[in-house]
Amino acid sequence: MVNLQTQLAGCKMASPLVLASGFLGLDWASLDRVAKSGAAAVTTKSCNLEGRDGYSNPTVLANENYMLNAIGLANAGIEHEIDEISTFKKKSQAVIIGSIFESSPEKFAEVAKRISTAKPHLIELDLSCPHLGGKGFENYKDFASDPKSISEVVKATKKATKIPIFAKLSPNVPNIGELAKAAESAGANGITAINTAGGMLISADFQKPILSNKYGGLSGPAIKPIALKSVYQIYESVKIPIIGTGGVATGEDAIEMLLAGAAAVGIGTATYHRGIEAFKLIESEMQHWMEKNKSGSVKELIGKAHE
């Protein structure tokens, strides 16, 4: 019998499988349903202080190879999120990760302080959405690419809460290891990698971009090589745990992410392709692979590709 247990900053998990932010996690009921369907941890949809309307349709395009979205981090604000997390914790034993974003280190800290009242197990700093912009968020892109900005956000949020902080990083940078190191040095307890890659689609028939925002975030199988490279580089740069996410659709994909250095594996677009049963299917496939390859535990697989 293989051991799928893992840990993230002291949080014990029955398996490495984590629901990524933005997928099936709009309220406590959907998060609970995902947890009951096999996710050992669930991440909320990213929220900020006042909430955001997001972009107008079309916002999502998908096929068997990828998903491209520009939803614009639409959310109802921190007070709504506090209620949803609080209710979830009364209903479920699964680990819950509260995802937050804002336009400045000071506002990040305020959201972290307020979300902490709901006592999520971890807080994820969404520093790297590739399509966020608009009034008040003109400088948001700096958080994705500038070590100093990442450090300032992490330091500010660490002062505002005692809950472990994970920094979610972008692949759209020259050196993701450098950014992870900046987050670790500032006090981050872990890294989530990667956020979606930047992308767009143009209609030949209409001769214009398809998404209303023009640019979007690319996820799904097409970005798995980018995610693996990023996790591999981060593992060589820091000692804190990594949630590896990006393109994981099968049990073997999840194993590869562990081998690259991830302690846990985020699942997102796979829920579109395989449904909510993706977690149980991927877990079963992981168990089969581990038994076939005489691997006894997740712990012994983490980072093994570096040997």
The Cα–Cα gap between 223 and 262 comes to 16
In a domain? residue 96? yes
Q: Evaluate if residue 50 carries a pLDDT over 70.
A: yes
Q: Evaluate if residue 127 carries a pLDDT over 80.
A: yes
- For the chain, how many structural domains are there in total? 1
DSSP 112: H
Q: Is 223 helix (H, G, I), strand (E, B) or coil?
A: helix
Active-site residue list = 129
In a domain? residue 63? no
The Cα–Cα gap between 254 and 39 comes to 13
In a domain? residue 75? yes
In a domain? residue 60? no
Show the tokens assigned to 154: 């992490």
Structural domain for 125, as ranges: 6-46+69-306
Cβ atoms 34, 25 nearer than 8 A: yes
Q: Evaluate if residue 69 carries a pLDDT over 70.
A: yes
Q: Evaluate if residue 307 carries a pLDDT over 90.
A: yes
User: Torsions phi, psi of 178, nearest 5?
Assistant: -65, -40
In a domain? residue 189? yes
- Residue 132: pLDDT band (50, 70, 90) is confident
- C-alpha angle 238/250/60, rounded to 5°? 85
Cβ atoms 267, 276 nearer than 8 A: no
Q: Lowest mean pLDDT: which of 62-76, 145-159, 213-227?
A: 62-76
pLDDT score for 134 = 61
In a domain? residue 74? yes
Comparing CA positions, the residue from 235, 234, 304, 218 lying closest to residue 269 is 218
E strand or H helix at 224, and its extent? Answer: helix 224-235
Show the tokens assigned to 215: 């640019």
Q: What is the DSSP string of 238-293?
A: -SS-EEEESS--SHHHHHHHHHHT-SEEEE-THHHHH-TTHHHHHHHHHHHHHHHT
Whichever domain contains 31, its CATH number is 3.20.20.70
E strand or H helix at 165, and its extent? Answer: strand 165-169
In a domain? residue 57? no
Cβ atoms 234, 219 nearer than 8 A: no
CA atoms within 13 A of residue 160's CA, in its CB half-sphere: 22
Q: What percent of the chain has pLDDT over 70?
A: 97
- Residue 137: pLDDT band (50, 70, 90) is confident
